[in-house]
RNA sequence: CGGGAUGUGGCCUAGUGGUAAGGCACCUGGUUUGGGACCAGGGGGUCGCAAGUUCGAAUCUUGCCAUCCCGACCA
C-alpha cells in the first residue's frame, strides 16, 4: 500500500479519556476510533492487525482439526432459558424485542446455539469427536466498559466447541486445544502464563486460563514462588489458617450502641477495633431461600468459591428489603447470632471458624455485638451449616504450605471442560457402540482477539509509539521515501517496494509529500518492525538505510542488497 | 447501580457575570526539506441539552444526557 492512499489518522496529542498505554496508542496510531462507550471502529491499520491475528488463529485451529462455521449474533432467549444461563448472565446479556415482541439476545457466546445444532444433527458416536469454531463479534453489556478494547461491549472472539462420546476423547481434544493455544500466543509474539481457572457461568469440571502478565491487567494471577501452583483469584485456594487459642476469660456477648456505622470501616473507627476482628454477614438469595455467608471483616467473599460451595446454584446478593425483613435491622447490621438458624443454608469461611473472638452486627439497627465466640455463641456445624474456603486469597496466605504471590494479567484465552451441562439440557445425544443413547460430552475454547492486540501494544511500546511483533504488525516493512521531488529517490523506493510485494511481503510505502520529521514520527508511532529509509544523502553513495523499530541504530546497505537483506531480516524476526 | 470528576471548532486546553480565546490539525500562496518547519492569508463553534436567575450566562441554579475515574457477579 501507498501511505498517500491510505486512511491512517495519527494524532500527536494523547486523547484525554484514554488511560492506559494500549488505549492511547491504538487511538494515536490510527488503529481504532471510539463510536460509543465500549464500542470501537477498527480503521484500516487496526483491521489489518485484527486480520493478522485471526489468520494465525484460523491456521492453528484448522491444523488442530477444528472446522470453521458462523453462527448468528441474534439468538432466541428460549435457548438461554433452557440452560438457565438467562439468569446467570442477567443484565450483562444484551436483549431486545423484535416487532413481534419476541425476546432476542445478542450473542455473548454460543454454547446454546451450537449444542442445539449438535442435538439436531449428530446421531452416532462415529461422527465424533467434532470441533466447531467461529470467529465473530460477541456482545456483553458490561457494567463498566473501560481500557479501550480490553473491556468493550462488542468484541471479536474465537469460540470453539467440541463434542465427544466419552471423557477420554474430551481430554484429548482439551489437551490439543491447550497446545494449540500455546502455539497461537507464541506466534503472536506474546509471553503468556497458564493458570487454573474457575468455570464460572460456563459450568463444567476443569478450566485453564491463558493470561498475559501485565501491569494494567484486570485479572489477578495467584501463584507460588516456585510456580508449582498458579490460578486466577477466582479459583486460587488457600490453606486454612491455624486455630487461634481461645482465651478463657471472654465475657458473654454484649450489644454495643454503634449509631450510623453500617460499614466495617465505620464500626472499626467507632469501636477502635480492626477489620480482622470483625465478622461480615452477607445475605444471599438462592431462588427464594436465604443463604448466609460469613467472612472475616478484612476478607472479601469470593463469588466463585461461594457458588461452588452452593453446588453451583444461581445466587445473588439479597436486596435491601429482603435483608431488612430477614435480619430485622437496617443493611449493615446483620450478625450470626440467632440468624444462622433462620437461614436455609450457611457457609462459614474457614478463617471465621478459627477466630477466638469477634465483633459482628447485632441484627438490630445501630447495634453491634462484641465478645462473639464462634462455636460458643453461634454454631459451626449443623444440618444447614458448612465450613468452606469462600474468600479471596490475600497477601500472606499460603497454599500447600507455600507462600502465595500476586500479579496482574490480561486474560486472552480460556479453555473449559463442559461435560454434559449443555448437552443434557438441549438433548445432544448420540448412539454409542452398544446402540444406547449417550449424552455428548463437551468442551469449549475461547480467545479474545482484540485483547491479543491490546496486550501486544500494552507490553511493547516506548515513548515514540508501538513496537509490533512482526507476526501481527499491520505491515512488515515500511519504506520511508524522503525527498519526494527527487526522481532518483522516488524511483528507488518504488522499485524496492514492488520487489518486496512480489515476494509477498506486507509493505507500506510512505510516498507522502512531507518533511522527513513527520514521516519518521508516524513510522515510529505506527510501529512497523522494519523500516527502509530512502533519501538522497545515502543514495548518493548508492545506499539505503535498514532499521528495526526495536533498535535505535540503523545500517547503510547498498541499494542492490536491499531486497535480500530485508527478506533476511523479515525471516529472522519471525524466527524469534 | 453507588461515589467522584469533566463536557468550549476534528484534537489538546484557557476563560468563574459584560464582544468566545490560544495551540495543534485543516484550506490557499510562498519559503523550507534527515526527526512533528516558517511567513502571510482563510474556513470552521446555538460553549453537551433543557429550563430558570439576571439588563446581560460558557460562567450562577435545577433537571436531564454523554464521557471518564474509583467501587461493587466479569472474557
A281: CATH = 3.90.960.10
pLDDT for position A201: 67
Same domain, A497 and A437: no
Scanning A263-319, the segments in alpha helix (DSSP H) are: 264-271, 303-309
pLDDT for position A492: 97
Phi/psi-derived region of residue A457, left when phi > 0, alpha when psi is between -120 and 50, beta in every other case:
alpha
Same domain, A60 and A125: yes
Last residue of a domain, one of A342, A360, A388: A388
Q: What is the pLDDT of residues A263-305, one digit of tens each?
A: 787 888 888 888 889 999 999 988 888 999 999 988 989 988 9
Residue closest to A31 by CA, chosen among A21, A40, A19: A40
- Report which of residues A225 and A178 the model is more confident about: A178
**Intra-chain end-to-end CA distance of chain A, in Å:** 26
pLDDT for position A25: 96
Q: Please, how many CA atoms are within 13 Å of residue A281, restricted to the half-sphere of its CB?
A: 31
Same domain, A265 and A375: yes
In a domain? residue A79: no
What are the φ and ψ backbone dihedral angles of A480, each rounded to 5 degrees? -95, 105
In this structure, of A18-22, A449-453, A519-523, the range with the lowest mean pLDDT score is A18-22
Q: Strand, coil or helix: what is A571?
A: helix
Which nucleotide's C1' atom has the smallest distance to the CA of A485?
B33
Same domain, A233 and A300: no
Residue A491 CA and nucleotide B43 C1' are separated, in Å, by 37
Q: How much of chain A is in helix, strand and coil states, percent to nearest 5?
A: 35, 30, 35
Same domain, A225 and A114: yes
CATH of the domain at A541: 3.40.50.800
Residue A359 CA and nucleotide B19 C1' are separated, in Å, by 67
- Between the ranges A33-42, A208-217, A498-507, where is the mean pLDDT highest? A498-507
- Chain B bases having any atom below 7 Å from a protein CB: 1, 11-13, 23-25, 32-37, 66-75
Which nucleotide's C1' atom has the smallest distance to the CA of A316?
B73
Same domain, A295 and A350: yes
Same domain, A157 and A34: yes
Residues A115/A428, Cβ–Cβ less than 8 Å: yes
The CA-atom distances, in angstroms, between A426 and each of A354, A430, A514 are 45, 13, 62
In a domain? residue A332: yes
Per-residue pLDDT band for A42 (boundaries 50, 70, 90) equals: very high
Residue A269 CA and nucleotide B50 C1' are separated, in Å, by 45
In a domain? residue A3: no
Residue A480 CA and nucleotide B37 C1' are separated, in Å, by 19
Indicate if the pLDDT at residue A229 is higher than 80.
Answer: yes
Indicate if the pLDDT at residue A186 is higher than 70.
Answer: yes
Same domain, A410 and A519: no
Neighbours of A554 (CB within 10 A): 15
Indicate if the pLDDT at residue A534 is higher than 90.
Answer: yes
Residue A518 CA and nucleotide B8 C1' are separated, in Å, by 29
Which nucleotide's C1' atom has the smallest distance to the CA of A524?
B35
Instruction: Give me chain A's average pLDDT, please.
Output: 93
* Separation between Cα atoms, residue A285 and residue A158, nearest integer Å: 34
The CA-atom distances, in angstroms, between A70 and each of A378, A379, A422 are 56, 54, 19
Which nucleotide's C1' atom has the smallest distance to the CA of A11?
B11
In a domain? residue A465: no
Residue A217 CA and nucleotide B47 C1' are separated, in Å, by 37
Residue A504 CA and nucleotide B11 C1' are separated, in Å, by 37
Residue closest to A520 by CA, chosen among A496, A497, A545, A537: A545
Which nucleotide's C1' atom has the smallest distance to the CA of A14?
B12
* Separation between Cα atoms, residue A417 and residue A415, nearest integer Å: 7
CATH of the domain at A37: 3.30.930.10
Same domain, A417 and A355: no
Same domain, A28 and A145: yes
pLDDT for position A119: 97
Burial class (CB in 10 A: 0-12, 13-18, 19+), A141: middle
Indicate if the pLDDT at residue A316 is higher than 90.
Answer: no
Cis peptide upstream of residue A395 (ω within 30 degrees of 0)? no
Domain region containing A317: 254-388
Query: How many distinct structural domains can be found in chain A?
Result: 3
Which nucleotide's C1' atom has the smallest distance to the CA of A285?
B73
Residues A508/A475, Cβ–Cβ less than 8 Å: yes
H/E segment holding residue A375: none
Residue A43 CA and nucleotide B9 C1' are separated, in Å, by 24
* Separation between Cα atoms, residue A417 and residue A440, nearest integer Å: 12
Which nucleotide's C1' atom has the smallest distance to the CA of A92?
B74
Same domain, A264 and A340: yes
In a domain? residue A383: yes
Same domain, A361 and A451: no
Residue A538 CA and nucleotide B3 C1' are separated, in Å, by 60
Amino acid at each position: 500500500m501507498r501511505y498517500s492512499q491510505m486512511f491512517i489518522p495519527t494524532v500527536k496529542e494523547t486523547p484525554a479519556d484514554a488511560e492506559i498505554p494500549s488505549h492511547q496508542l491504538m487511538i494515536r496510531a490510527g488503529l481504532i476510533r471510539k463510536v460509543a462507550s465500549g464500542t470501537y471502529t477498527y480503521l484500516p491499520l487496526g483491521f489489518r492487525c485484527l486480520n493478522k491475528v485471526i489468520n494465525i488463529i484460523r491456521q492453528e485451529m484448522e491444523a488442530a482439526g477444528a472446522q470453521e462455521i458462523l453462527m448468528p449474533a441474534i439468538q432466541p432467549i428460549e435457548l438461554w432459558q433452557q440452560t438457565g444461563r438467562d439468569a446467570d448472565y442477567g443484565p450483562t446479556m444484551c436483549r431486545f424485542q423484535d416487532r413481534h415482541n419476541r425476546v432476542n439476545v445478542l450473542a455473548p457466546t454460543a454454547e446454546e446455539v451450537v449444542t442445539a445444532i449438535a442435538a439436531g444433527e449428530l446421531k452416532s458416536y462415529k461422527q465424533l469427536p467434532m470441533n466447531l469454531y467461529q470467529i465473530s463479534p460477541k456482545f456483553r453489556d458490561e457494567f463498566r466498559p473501560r481500557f479501550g478494547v480490553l473491556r468493550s461491549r462488542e468484541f471479536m472472539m474465537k469460540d470453539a466447541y467440541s463434542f465427544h462420546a466419552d471423557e477420554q476423547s474430551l481430554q484429548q481434544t482439551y489437551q490439543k486445544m491447550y497446545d494449540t493455544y500455546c502455539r497461537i500466543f507464541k506466534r503472536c509474539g506474546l509471553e503468556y502464563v497458564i493458570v487454573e481457572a474457575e468455570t464460572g457461568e460456563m459450568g463444567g469440571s476443569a478450566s485453564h486460563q491463558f493470561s498475559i502478565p501485565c501491569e494494567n491487567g484486570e485479572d489477578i494471577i495467584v501463584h507460588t514462588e516456585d510456580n508449582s501452583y498458579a490460578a486466577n483469584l477466582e479459583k486460587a485456594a488457600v490453606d486454612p489458617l491455624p486455630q487461634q487459642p481461645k482465651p478463657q476469660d471472654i465475657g458473654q456477648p454484649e450489644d454495643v450502641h454503634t449509631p450510623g456505622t453500617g460499614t466495617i470501616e465505620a464500626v472499626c473507627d467507632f469501636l477502635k477495633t480492626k477489620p480482622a476482628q470483625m465478622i461480615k454477614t452477607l445475605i444471599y438469595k438462592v431462588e427464594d431461600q436465604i443463604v448466609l455467608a460469613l467472612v472475616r471483616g478484612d476478607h472479601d467473599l469470593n463469588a466463585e468459591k461461594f457458588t461452588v460451595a452452593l453446588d453451583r446454584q444461581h445466587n445473588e446478593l439479597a436486596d435491601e428489603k429482603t435483608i431488612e425483613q430477614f435480619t430485622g435491622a437496617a443493611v449493615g447490621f446483620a450478625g450470626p447470632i440467632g440468624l444462622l438458624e433462620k437461614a436455609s443454608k450457611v457457609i462459614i469461611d474457614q478463617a471465621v471458624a478459627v477466630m477466638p473472638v469477634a465483633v459482628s452486627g447485632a441484627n438490630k439497627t445501630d447495634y453491634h455485638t462484641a465478645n462473639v465466640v464462634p462455636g460458643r455463641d453461634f454454631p459451626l456445624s449443623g444440618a444447614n451449616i458448612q465450613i468452606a474456603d469462600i474468600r479471596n486469597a490475600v497477601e500472606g496466605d499460603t497454599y500447600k504450605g507455600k507462600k502465595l504471590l500476586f500479579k496482574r494479567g490480561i486474560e486472552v484465552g480460556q479453555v473449559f471442560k463442559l461435560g454434559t451441562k449443555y448437552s443434557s439440557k438441549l438433548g445432544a445425544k448420540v448412539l454409542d457402540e452398544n446402540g444406547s443413547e449417550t449424552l455428548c460430552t463437551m468442551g469449549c475454547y475461547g480467545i479474545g482477539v482484540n485483547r491479543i492486540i491490546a496486550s501486544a501494544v500494552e507490553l511493547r511500546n516506548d515513548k515514540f509509539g508501538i513496537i509490533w511483533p512482526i507476526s501481527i504488525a499491520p505491515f512488515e516493512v515500511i519504506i520511508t521515501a524522503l525527498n519526494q521531488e527527487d526522481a532518483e529517490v522516488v524511483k528507488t523506493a518504488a522499485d524496492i517496494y514492488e520487489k518486496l510485494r512480489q515476494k509477498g511481503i506486507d509493505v507500506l510505502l510512505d510516498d507522502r509529500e512531507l518533511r522527513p520529521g513527520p514521516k519518521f514520527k508516524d513510522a515510529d508511532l505506527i510501529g512497523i518492525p522494519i523500516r527502509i529509509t530512502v533519501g538522497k544523502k545515502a543514495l548518493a553513495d548508492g545506499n539505503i538505510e535498514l532499521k528495526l523499530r526495536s533498535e535505535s541504530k540503523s545500517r547503510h546497505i547498498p541499494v542492490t542488497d536491499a531486497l535480500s537483506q530485508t527478506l533476511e531480516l523479515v525471516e529472522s524476526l519471525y524466527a524469534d
